Amino acid sequence: MQGTVRTVTALRGHVLQFCGDPFCDNPSDALVDWSDGLVITENGKITAVGDAAELIKSLPEGAVVHDHSGKFILPGFVDCHVHYPQTEVIASYGAQLIEWLNTYTFPAEAKFGDMDYARRAADVYLQQSFANGITSASVYCTIHPESVDALFEQAARHNMRVAAGKVMMDRNAPANLRDTAQSGYDQSKALLEKWHGKGRALYSITPRFAPTSTPEQLEATGALWKEHPEALLQTHTSENRQELEWVGELYPEHPDYVGVYEHFGLLGKGSVLGHGIYLNDREKALLHETGTSIAHCPTSNTFIGSGLFDVRGSHFTHQPIRVGLATDVGGGSSFSMLTTMRTAYEIAQLQGYSLHPVQAYYLATVGSAKTLYQDDKIGNIKVGMEADFAVIDPLSTALIRHRMSYTNTLIEQLFIQMILGDDRAIAATYIDGKCVFSKST
């Protein structure tokens, strides 16, 4: 009887591994690195990580080594909140949240009932993600089941761990973008049963946000999650002050925005709320108690003028919240997680807190994986985890090369990458142990 074919590959370079939580520990102590390291993978899983001089002796005959010496090998970035249908409206002028939706988002999303169109858009989105070192994401589709099928089909070609779901909206949206409480439930249930757990696919039940769902739809959403607790759930909260007032008018019987989701059973482990800028103390305590996560979307919050998320206040408290980093394209202005980290740093600076570079990289990898409760699989480089990597060229531009010549520590070098780097810094991206993007080709 023929045995299983072994596919052993290795990446050689400056390997970085998180060994602690930089928001709980000394940030510098939460990172371990091997300047000449080796990560060995077999059939999409990490089997060894450490010093190259030692580990290279253990490679079997025929193993392929991808030599990235002099470059950083990091866990693949995890984007915990993004709208792939909005890629075509990224960098649109002059609107805040509600106007943004009506002027740009809804007209773009109306096109996604066309399967061929959705497939092309999904491919563009994924290629942009790979070119920026993003190997996993939690993705909003549109109300059209075709938009979900298209994304999962394209992601499956790369065996990408991606979470996604059909947007549910039954009010306060154009007629061609509304479902009903029943059809939203039925279509979401069918898609969940079709895709969740197929390969590395995860289904995320996706009511857009409280203003575009009736109480009946949110009730149906809660019922669906109760029936399928293995699924994830994603929605938005407290992004914009006008939005907060609107929710208060639509749901006056509830104490606050998060209280709406609490009432309908939409909080808990696996629930990711986008933004969370204007949370009160009751809401923060509730998120902590239920294990609900927040996706911090810095470039979106600044570009659309929403506000400044308090990273320090979400972590340094007796009731910390799980927080990950997200591009939020197309409200977000860049697919680059390095750019996203830079904006997160700038937002923290405006609030009197200097976000440590190790904390920033943690939010973009382990932190985002934790928001999805997938941190046992993705977001770090450890034995047994899935083989997703981002390779960063630390000398990608003339200015960075000049600046790097004056550094003395790894922490300085990482900080320079997140402040001056962008997609040009991504040398290669690996998903499931296979190269899906290479700058050289």
The Cβ of residue 281 has, within 10 Å, a number of other Cβ atoms equal to 9
Number of domains in the chain: 2
Could you tell me how far CA 398 lies from the centroid of its own chain? 30
What three-state secondary structure class fits 169? coil
Q: Which of 371, 390, 423 is the last residue of a domain?
A: 371
Considering the domain boundaries, does residue 122 fall inside one?
Answer: yes
Query: Do 13 and 154 have their domain in common?
Result: no
Instruction: Give pLDDT, residue 4.
Output: 59
70, amino acid identity = G
Considering the domain boundaries, does residue 1 fall inside one?
Answer: no
pLDDT in tens, the chain (441 residues): 355 567 899 999 999 999 999 999 999 999 999 999 999 999 999 999 999 999 999 999 989 999 999 999 999 999 999 999 999 999 999 888 888 888 999 999 999 999 999 999 999 999 999 999 999 999 999 999 999 999 999 999 999 999 999 999 999 999 999 999 999 999 999 999 999 999 999 999 999 999 999 999 999 999 999 999 999 999 999 999 999 999 999 999 999 999 999 999 999 999 999 999 999 999 999 999 999 999 999 999 999 999 999 999 999 999 999 999 999 999 999 999 999 999 999 999 999 999 999 999 999 999 999 999 999 999 999 999 999 999 999 999 999 999 999 999 999 999 999 999 999 999 999 999 999 999 987
64-81: b (≥16 Cβ within 10 Å) or e? eebebeebbbbbbbbbbb
Query: Do 313 and 418 have their domain in common?
Result: no
Q: Are 132 and 90 in contact (CB under 8 A)?
A: no
DSSP string computed for 4-17? PPP-EEEEEEEEEE
Query: Do 67 and 87 have their domain in common?
Result: no
Global pTM value: 0.96
Instruction: Give pLDDT, residue 6.
Output: 73
Alpha-carbon distance of 222 to 426, in angstroms, equals 40
59: CATH: 2.30.40.10
Query: Do 340 and 309 have their domain in common?
Result: yes
C-alpha neighbours within 13 Å on the C-beta side of residue 11 = 37
Bridge partner residues of 391 (DSSP): 73, 428
Considering the domain boundaries, does residue 141 fall inside one?
Answer: yes
Query: Do 242 and 298 have their domain in common?
Result: yes
Considering the domain boundaries, does residue 163 fall inside one?
Answer: yes
280, amino acid identity = N
Instruction: Give pLDDT, residue 365.
Output: 98
Q: Is 353 left (phi over 0), alpha (psi -120 to 50) or beta?
A: beta
Q: Which of 371, 389, 407 is the last residue of a domain?
A: 371
Query: Do 356 and 393 have their domain in common?
Result: no
Reply yes or no: is the peptide bond before residue 184 cis, omega within 30 of 0. no
Q: What is the edge-to-edge ordering of all strands in the sheet holding 31-42?
A: 45-51, 31-42, 8-18, 64-75, 389-392, 426-431, 434-438
Q: Which of 351, 371, 391 is the last residue of a domain?
A: 371
For residue 305, the enclosing domain spans: 77-371
Alpha-carbon distance of 271 to 186, in angstroms, equals 20
Query: Do 184 and 227 have their domain in common?
Result: yes
Which residues have CB under 8 Å from 372's CB, separation 6+? Answer: 78, 80, 136, 138, 163, 202, 232, 270, 272, 293, 324
Alpha-carbon distance of 113 to 176, in angstroms, equals 10
- The candidate with the shortest Cα–Cα distance to 135, out of 419, 386, 415, 417, is 386
What three-state secondary structure class fits 111? helix
Instruction: Give pLDDT, residue 5.
Output: 65
Query: Do 45 and 183 have their domain in common?
Result: no
Query: Do 19 and 135 have their domain in common?
Result: no
Could you tell me how far CA 50 lies from the centroid of its own chain? 27
Alpha-carbon distance of 387 to 381, in angstroms, equals 8
